[in-house]
Homo-oligomer: A and B are copies of this chain.
């Protein structure tokens, strides 16, 4: 291997809705800005990947193809990849990273399976009880808000939620210009006595920590930009995020009802253009994909329908996380005191 001083990104080329076409095009796109800095390893059906690659011009030294003949599908149980699909493009991509033959992994495949496989194959950071998944959302202020857990942990213990806050704090410091980000705990009221037992217990842990804990926040405080980070369980997070993603189609549908009645078709059309811009930050494609936090490695999950540009953005994000050495910082934060 003569590329071993370059950053190497393994991409599960078979996981997305438009595989391997979008993964391949995304890799070629990313290379345009990254020159000889990185090597991308496309893992999957070699014949199909090569066929896609044949349509592009790129530096042959910057892309490698590793053949695998198994694919993890959306219908596979999260544990299947570990039990019966160890030769899948997803598992092999992760194994490359575990063996230090890649510095990060990207997959647009089955999120549950990718999380389970990432956890087992890469292992957890010392002090991280569970890996978690968060995402930035826009707010009506100039700041973004980072929310987590958005679906990785359906029923987390207070300690897990506390650790998510620690990891989110580091992640935000590394990926935004905010120092010591403020953390809100999602609840049904401001008082510490509010909410479920798990939330009350989490409140205590956060309050007694060195984190910049703002206190409880409510549903309206995500978009208000009141805090930099909002912490909640993955059951709520999954539902809130999907609800947020449904806002644009909801508004579109409501506008359709108004066109030609209260407002002219032209007026509604113009409002639609404005709204498209307003909601652009809530498009899951905009984020490109999200990194799991808490793993001994850089593992990023892409949206199933990711475009080539989304894959390219995610490759850049992976490089940023590798270069900031985020996992060492997370491990230090989780294990101090």
With contacts A154-B195, A236-B239, A242-B218 taken as known, whether A251 is within 8 angstroms of B224 at the C-beta atoms is: no
A residues contacting the other copy or chain, number (CB 8 A):
56
* A235 on interface, CB distance cutoff 8 Å: yes
Question: Complex formed: what's the CA distance from A45 to B184 in Å?
Answer: 40
Contact of A140 among B221, B243, B250, B277 (CB under 8 A): B250
Contact of A239 among B186, B250, B257, B267 (CB under 8 A): B186
Q: Are B240 and A240 in contact (CB under 8 A)?
A: yes
Residue of B nearest to A196 (CB): B155
Binds B, one of A64-72, A115-123, A268-276, A303-311: A268-276
Q: 0/1 per residue, A212-254, Cβ < 8 Å to B?
A: 0000001111111000000010111011111111110111111
Q: With a CB–CB cut-off of 8 A, which chain B residues contact A277? A: 254, 258, 262-263
With contacts A196-B154, A246-B224 taken as known, whether A274 is within 8 angstroms of B263 at the C-beta atoms is: yes
* A139 on interface, CB distance cutoff 8 Å: yes
* A138 on interface, CB distance cutoff 8 Å: yes
Q: Are B243 and A255 in contact (CB under 8 A)?
A: no
* A197 on interface, CB distance cutoff 8 Å: yes
* A188 on interface, CB distance cutoff 8 Å: yes
* A141 on interface, CB distance cutoff 8 Å: yes
* A151 on interface, CB distance cutoff 8 Å: yes
Question: Complex formed: what's the CA distance from A186 to B252 in Å?
Answer: 23
Q: With a CB–CB cut-off of 8 A, which chain B residues contact A138? A: 254
Residue of B nearest to A256 (CB): B140
Q: With a CB–CB cut-off of 8 A, which chain B residues contact A155? A: 196-197
* A178 on interface, CB distance cutoff 8 Å: no
* A278 on interface, CB distance cutoff 8 Å: yes
Question: Complex formed: what's the CA distance from A43 to B224 in Å?
Answer: 37
Q: Are B195 and A219 in contact (CB under 8 A)?
A: no
Q: With a CB–CB cut-off of 8 A, which chain B residues contact A249? A: 140, 220, 223-224
Q: With a CB–CB cut-off of 8 A, which chain B residues contact A235? A: 188, 195-196, 199, 236
Q: With a CB–CB cut-off of 8 A, which chain B residues contact A263? A: 273-274, 277
Q: With a CB–CB cut-off of 8 A, which chain B residues contact A218? A: 238-239, 242
Q: With a CB–CB cut-off of 8 A, which chain B residues contact A234? A: 188
- Within the complex, what minimum Cβ distance (angstroms) separates A259 from chain B? 9
Q: Are B252 and A140 in contact (CB under 8 A)?
A: yes
Q: With a CB–CB cut-off of 8 A, which chain B residues contact A196? A: 154-155, 235
**22 A-B pairs with C-beta separation under 8 A:** A141-B253, A154-B195, A195-B235, A219-B238, A219-B242, A219-B245, A223-B243, A223-B247, A223-B250, A224-B246, A235-B236, A240-B243, A243-B243, A251-B251, A254-B278, A255-B274, A255-B278, A262-B277, A263-B277, A267-B274, A270-B271, A271-B271
